[in-house]
């Protein structure tokens, strides 16, 4: 099959009948090496570029209490050299062929990608295979200690010394019960990072970073049969590893509201409302995305229009669903303007949520959300590499649905929504079981949401 529309502009200009007649498809070939590595190849010859996108199916959710932060630590260690790549040469060799790269860690996975001119695609394949198979040949206690300090500093910058950063550190433990895979921050705790021994780090790599727990997507101006030969050449000699079963969804239900007050070095108070909601790609997930958009996406959204524009009690508003393979989080965030308390803000937010529970949104609101979603969806199809590009999405769909070409089904989840779906998820999931965080300036607890009375 062919990719029916290569450019978003052409897609959006097509007639409805044309779009209905042909299936949106991102063609691929998938094969598995004898050692367990899954390889997915997608050809896109629209530009002379290629990307290598590697997912290790391990994130912070695979860690254990007392040993957190390992997945993110390895995001750093993987750039520090391997058996045949001296320290400092990973980036240098990639840049020498005109490439760029990056990586990230989530609750569910660690990913790495390299974008290169298509005639240099063998370089990232070599680099990725070497750190998959031979990272431990060059890793030493000194290397681990050095990157441990880098991660600690990143933690200070992202959580401890960033305005409102304390919320993101405290949210997981407040929303998810003790022992839940999402009950600690992805970056881990400072104490756990300090306590981890070199042997602990080695054992974590051996358990989670084998070929049977990884998938590699090569996409762009490439030839599938050549890529198959290159994948066998560079990854084929890596020893077989034990496959790791995926984590099953672990839904969370809160039966009552919890309120947390945090003092921070900030100028304005901010309230965060957090609800646990179902996992990514579950039936309610698309409607929850629509709900977040209706509440706070753009100047015509309900919370922005009322709190920021009409009443002018808020500096900014935001809402989104942070999805995960085990569970998800629905968040509403509002920064109060000077002279307004978070108690006032909370009352207004709850009024708008109650309105959506009582009566569905308008058809116009749903269509506006669907148009934005469709435009963003096709915009991402124009990019082969990087975060959210086609290669990254092929890996995402493979890991989370089993079908790398889940593009049409994914978009259909959003285009098939109607107002009653949004009303239903608001009524079902945005109930009293939630966590309300007040982040206030130091010494200004009176600006926080009041304690719950029993």
pLDDT in the model for residue 8: 38
For residue 190 the two structure tokens come to: 């400072």
Of 232 and 11, more confident = 232
For 351-365, write each residue's pLDDT tens digit. 999 999 999 999 999
Pairing relationship of beta strands 214-220 and 38-43 according to DSSP bridges = parallel
For residue 386 the two structure tokens come to: 């990087």
pLDDT(378) > 50: yes
- Residue 42 phi, psi (nearest 5): -130, 125
For residue 34 the two structure tokens come to: 């004898």
206/249 Cα distance (integer angstroms): 25
pLDDT(15) > 50: no
Q: In this structure, are residues 193 and 73 in contact, taking their beta carbons and an 8 Å threshold? A: yes
Q: Which bin fits 179, alpha (ψ -120 to 50), beta or left (φ > 0)?
A: left
> Length of the chain in residues, anyone?
454
pLDDT(453) > 80: no
Nearest-Å Rg of the Cα atoms of the chain is: 23
Q: Which residues pair with 332 in a beta bridge?
A: 273, 319
112/105 Cα distance (integer angstroms): 9
pLDDT(139) > 50: yes
pTM of the predicted model over 0.95: no
- Roughly what angle, to the nearest 10 degrees, separates helices 122-134 and 224-235? 30
Spatial CA neighbour of 104 closest among 113, 96, 95: 113
For 247-288, write each residue's pLDDT tens digit. 899 999 999 999 999 999 999 999 999 999 999 999 999 999
Q: In this structure, are residues 300 and 146 in contact, taking their beta carbons and an 8 Å threshold? A: no
* Local structure of 390: helix, strand or coil: helix
For 370, what's the count of Cα atoms within 13 Å in the CB-facing half-sphere? 18
pLDDT in the model for residue 5: 34
Lowest mean pLDDT among 23-27, 108-112, 174-178, 288-292: 23-27
When the pLDDT of each residue in the chain is averaged and rounded to a whole number, the result is 92
Pairing relationship of beta strands 435-441 and 258-264 according to DSSP bridges = parallel
Sign (positive or negative) of CA dihedral 118, 123, 127, 129: positive
Q: Which bin fits 195, alpha (ψ -120 to 50), beta or left (φ > 0)?
A: alpha
**CATH numbers and ranges of domains, the chain:** 26-235 (3.30.830.10), 258-447 (3.30.830.10)
Q: How far is CA 231 from CA 50, 87, 94, 299, 354, in A?
A: 14, 24, 18, 48, 54
pLDDT in the model for residue 160: 83
Res. 452 pLDDT band, cuts 50 70 90: low
- Residue 453 phi, psi (nearest 5): -95, 140
- Residue 444 phi, psi (nearest 5): -125, 50
- CA 365 to the chain's CA centroid: 26
Question: Once rounded to an integer, what is the mean pLDDT over residues 146-160?
Answer: 89
């Amino acid at each position: 099959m062919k990719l029916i529309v290569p450019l978003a502009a052409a897609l959006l200009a097509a007639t409805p009948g044309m779009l209905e007649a042909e299936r949106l498809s991102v063609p691929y070939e998938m094969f598995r090496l004898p050692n367990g590595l899954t390889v997915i190849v997608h050809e896109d010859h629209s530009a002379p570029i290629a990307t290598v996108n590697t997912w290790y199916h391990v994130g912070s959710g695979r860690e254990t209490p007392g040993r957190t932060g390992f997945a993110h630590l390895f995001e750093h260690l993987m750039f520090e050299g391997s058996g045949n790549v001296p320290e400092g040469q990973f980036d240098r060799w990639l840049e020498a062929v005109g490439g760029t790269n990056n990586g990230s860690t989530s609750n569910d996975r660690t990913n790495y990608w390299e974008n290169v001119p298509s005639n240099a695609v063998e370089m990232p394949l070599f680099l990725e295979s070497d750190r998959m198979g031979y990272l431990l040949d060059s890793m030493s206690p000194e290397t681990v200690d050095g990157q441990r300090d880098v991660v600690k500093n990143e933690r200070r910058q992202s959580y401890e010394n960033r305005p409102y950063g304390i919320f993101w550190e405290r949210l997981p433990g407040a929303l998810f019960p003790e022992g839940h895979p999402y009950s600690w921050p992805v970056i881990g705790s400072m104490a756990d990072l300090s306590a981890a021994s070199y042997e602990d780090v080695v054992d974590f790599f051996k358990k989670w970073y084998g070929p049977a727990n990884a998938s590699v997507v090569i996409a762009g101006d490439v030839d599938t049969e050549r890529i198959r030969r290159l994948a066998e050449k560079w990854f084929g000699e890596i020893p077989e590893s034990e496959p790791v079963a995926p984590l099953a969804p672990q839904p969370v239900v809160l039966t009552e509201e919890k309120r947390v007050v945090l003092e921070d070095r900030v100028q304005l108070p901010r309230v965060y409302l957090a609800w646990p909601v179902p996992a990514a790609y579950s039936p309610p997930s698309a409607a929850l995305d629509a709900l977040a958009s209706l509440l706070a996406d753009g100047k015509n959204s309900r919370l922005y229009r009322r709190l920021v524009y009409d009443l002018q009690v808020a500096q900014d508003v935001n809402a989104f669903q942070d999805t995960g393979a085990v569970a998800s989080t629905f968040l509403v965030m509002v920064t109060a303007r000077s002279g307004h308390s978070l108690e006032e803000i909370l009352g207004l937010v709850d009024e708008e949520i109650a309105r959506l529970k009582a009566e569905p949104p308008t058809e116009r609101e749903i269509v506006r959300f669907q148009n934005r979603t469709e435009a963003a969806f096709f915009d991402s199809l124009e990019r082969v590499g990087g975060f959210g590009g086609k290669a990254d999405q092929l890996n995402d769909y493979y890991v989370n649905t089993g079908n790398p070409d889940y593009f049409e089904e994914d978009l259909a989840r959003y285009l098939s929504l109607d107002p009653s779906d949004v009303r239903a998820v608001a009524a079902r999931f945005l109930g009293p079981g939630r966590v309300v965080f007040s982040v206030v300036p130091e010494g200004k607890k009176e600006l926080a949401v009041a304690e719950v009375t029993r």
